[in-house]
Amino acid sequence: MKSKVNILLVLTLLLHWNSMFSQGCEAEEPGSSSKDSLSGPTIDIFGYLQPQYDYFFTDGDQDNTFRFKRARVGVRGEVLDDFSYYFMLETSPFIGSTGDAYLMDAFITYNADNWARISLGSFKQPFSLDVSTPCNQLKTIERSVVADQLISPQRDFGVAVFGGNKYNRLNYSVALMNGRGLGVKDDNVKKDITGRATYKIIRNLTVGASFRYGYPIPNNNEDDRTTYGAEFLLELNRFAVQGEYIYDEGAYFAGAGGGCGATPIALGKERDGAYILASYDVSEKFQPVFKYEYFDADINIKDNLGYSERMTLGFNYFVNDKVRFQVNYLANIETVVNVNNDALLTQVQVRF
């Protein structure tokens, strides 16, 4: 029997979108700003490396490999008081279809007001707490399966408006996007609309909701797709827990790929998934984490092969704010056909 915990929480507050750069993959530190005491244009070179070793517990010879999860470098800054820019390349040969370096984020932001920061270019879709969390701040090495499979493409070309900051209870974001992903020319006349809103109910508890409506199939202006998401984040001193439920229906295009380089799974007409993630800061350096998640590729078929569950157990060790070690054991659970496919992932991250 499938074990599902459908998280149904409503509303709004965008914890990871608290600066004009935060729709990129490298969010600003809380309370920071790109403004400084110098006049004129500014430029900041930044990035991070994530070399990784993966060991898979399969039948026969055990697959194992060294690779880069991500290897990113970018520049950002201001050209005028109200105009900023952000540009990032992915150079890891293990992400993308060709193995070559390619454009991840590139956008210009006009900071008209706290409630109207307007960005134009290439950036993440404003959907889901998991997707909006910067890649270098994820508490587990892998994003949730449901986010990687259903929020695809995670990056796209478009225009977005962001409102609110970390001092406001309410934050929102809404975007009009091509719907085709990076490195692909828009090939239909329809656009996708995506939005996310969060609200801090009390000091420690934030809830949120996301929505997307679009046309994912190339050269097709008829077949649409609708996606809903609900989330929460609870932070109590050293303990934190977050959860998310995502439901998706309608057309989809496997050629868009999965998020963070994941291999896309064949989907039915309706699909959903959820996760819950808990962490505890034993000290400033050591943080154990646990995540449970499920993903159902076709909720209309009982005991389908696309249904899976996963438990992730591991820890993060912070040498300082620039160097982090991650160790995760992924226990994959298939309810129809049992497959030996657990994995042990280890990663070192250095930010600069």
User: What are the tens digits of pLDDT across the range 139-175?
Assistant: 999 999 999 999 989 999 999 999 999 899 999 999 9
Rounded to the nearest angstrom, the gap between the alpha carbon of residue 291 and the centroid of all alpha carbons in its chain is: 15
Q: Are 138 and 345 in contact (CB under 8 A)?
A: no
Backbone angles phi, psi at 312, to 5 degrees: -115, 125
Backbone angles phi, psi at 137, to 5 degrees: -115, 10
Q: Which CATH superfamily, name and number, covers 44-70+126-351?
A: Porin (2.40.160.10)
- What is residue 96's predicted lDDT score, i.e. its pLDDT? 66
d(CA 145, CA 308): 9
- What is residue 27's predicted lDDT score, i.e. its pLDDT? 56
- What is residue 303's predicted lDDT score, i.e. its pLDDT? 77
- What is residue 75's predicted lDDT score, i.e. its pLDDT? 96
* Cα dihedral value 332, 334, 337, 338, nearest 10: 40
**Domains of the chain by residue range:** 44-70+126-351
The residue ranges of the chain whose pLDDT is under 70 are 1-23, 25-40, 60, 96-98
- What is residue 23's predicted lDDT score, i.e. its pLDDT? 66
Q: Which amino acid is at 230?
A: A
Quote the radius of gyration of the chain (alpha carbons, Å).
20
Q: Which amino acid is at 314?
A: G
Beta bridge partners of 162: 117, 173
- What is residue 66's predicted lDDT score, i.e. its pLDDT? 95
- What is residue 100's predicted lDDT score, i.e. its pLDDT? 83
pLDDT single digits (tens) 252-287: 988 887 787 788 889 999 999 999 999 999 999 999
| 326-331, Cβ contacts within 8 angstroms, sequence gap of 24 or more | 326/140, 326/141, 328/140, 328/141, 328/142, 328/289, 330/142
* Cα dihedral value 250, 276, 24, 105, nearest 10: -40
Q: Which amino acid is at 107?
A: F
